[in-house]
Structure 1
Amino acid sequence: MKNKLLIIGASGHGKVVADIALKMNKWESIAFLDDDECIISSMGLKVIGKSEDAFNYIRDHDILVGIGNNATRQKLYEMLDKVGASIPVLIHPKAVIGEHVEIGKGTTIMAGAVINCCTSIGKGCIVNTGSTIDHDNKIEDFVHISPGVHLAGTVQIGQGSWLGIGSVVSNNVTITSGCRVGAGAVVVKDITDSGVYVGVPAIKLN
């Protein structure tokens, strides 16, 4: 861990990431990179360049990708990881993390999230505000769990899937990679085909 933090993305998700970083009180300085030249500061923190400038700061900064889109976050994460960037884990002080929980680097855990024991969270994930992940879950890399999502016990979520706000996944259910689950959907059985799923119970859109 380094004493300076650089966040790529100064908009919505990036601001929440910065708020967590400020509350963690672990870095002497925090700044943003953003490709929108109109943004010169955010959350009272300076924007000091574009995303492509991240490689100039690897020596003395931790760098975290603060972008909500899974594919974009994965692309930037993998570029940084390839060149040996220090990529931290950010956990809000008001999150609850159980025993024997593994959290991959580049993952951000928001305020009010609860992750219960014996769960594995991959790299570059977002566990958003007020979401709950119960025991023995396996969340693969670059998953976005939106605010208010509830996962019961022994759930598996495949890489790059996005669970919409307020969605619910029943126990012992597996969702394959590359899925999008709509807001308020209830998943009660395995999803084996990538796609968009909505409704109660959740069904695939044609």
Structure 2
Amino acid sequence: MKNKLLIIGASGHGKVVADIALKMNRWQSVAFLDDDKRIKSSLGLEVIGTSCDVSKNIETSDIFVGIGNNVIREKIQEMLETLGASIPVLIHPNSVIGEQVMLGAGTVVMAGAIINCCTKIGKGCIINTGSTIDHDNLIEDYVHISPGVNSAGNVKIGKGTWLGIGSTVINNVQITEGCKIGAGAVVIKDIKTTDVYVGIPAKTINRKNVT
């Protein structure tokens, strides 16, 4: 780990990421890169350049992608990995992490989140405010777990899936990659087709009564 942290993205999600980094108290300095040149500072921290400036900071800084969109976050993090960047894991001090939990590079765990034992979370994931992930979950790369999501035991969530605020996944359920689960939805059985799912129980909005 290096003494400086650069966060790509200075908007809403990036600010929360920066706040966590500051509370971790591991870096001597924290700053942003953002492609909107009108933004000069965020959360009282300086925006020192754009994403094009990443390469010249690789040797001196840890770099974290503070962008909420799963697809964009994956694209940028994969680029960082090809450049050999040091990509940390950010964990809010007020989260709870159980034993034998694995967190991939570029994942952030926000305030009030609980991750129980023997869960594996891939790289570039967002475990958002007040969410709970129970034992033996497998959360693949670039998943976004929104605030207040509850995932029971032995759940698998596929790469790039987004779980909307307050949604629930019961135990022993698998959700395929690239899905969007609407706010407040309750997933009670396996989701095998990439789509948008809403309601209680969760059903696709594109094909009647198919889950």
- The root-mean-square deviation of aligned C-alpha atoms, in Å, is 0.4
- After the TM superposition, which parts of structure 1 deviate over 4 Å for at least 4 consecutive aligned residues? none
Q: C-alpha separation between the residues in 2 aligned to 1:186 and 1:53?
A: 42
Point out where structure 1 has 5 or more consecutive residues left out of the alignment.
none
**What is the percent sequence identity of the aligned residues?**
71
Q: 1:174 offset after TM fit, Å?
A: 0.2
Q: State the 1:9 CA deviation.
A: 0.2
Deviation at 1:71, TM superposition (A): 0.2
Aligned residue number for residue 174 of structure 1: 174
Q: Per-residue deviation at 1:83?
A: 1.1
**Alpha-carbon distance in structure 1 between the residues aligned to 2:193 and 2:159:** 13
Distance 1:92 1:169 in 2: 24
Q: TM-score, normalised by structure 1?
A: 1.00
Corresponding residue for 2:209? none
Matched with 1:71 is 71
CA distance in structure 1 between the partners assigned to 2:123 and 2:117 by the alignment = 18
Does residue 141 of structure 1 match 2:141? yes
Letter in 2 for 1:35: D
In 1: Cα distance, 2:51 partner to 2:108 partner: 19
Partner of 1:117: 117
- For normalisation by structure 2, the TM-score amounts to 0.97
In structure 2, the partner of 1:49 is 49
Q: Which residue of 2 is the match for residue 203 of structure 1?
A: 203
Q: Distance in 2 between matches of 1:46 and 1:123?
A: 26
Report deviation, 1:38: 1.2
> What is the DSSP-based 3-state SS (H/G/I as helix, E as strand, rest coil) of the residue aligned with 1:13?
helix
In structure 2, what is the Cα distance between the partners aligned to 1:49 and 1:112? 32
Q: What is the distance in 1 between the residues matched to 2:80 and 2:204?
A: 35
In the alignment, which residue of structure 2 is the partner of 1:40?
Answer: 40
Q: Report the count of equivalent residues.
A: 206
Give the superposition deviation at 1:158: 0.2
**Letter aligned with residue 126 of structure 2:** I
SS in 2 for 1:135: coil
Segments of structure 2 that go 5 or more residues without pairing to the other structure are 207-211
Distance, in Å, in 1 between the alignment partners of 2:109 and 2:52 is 25
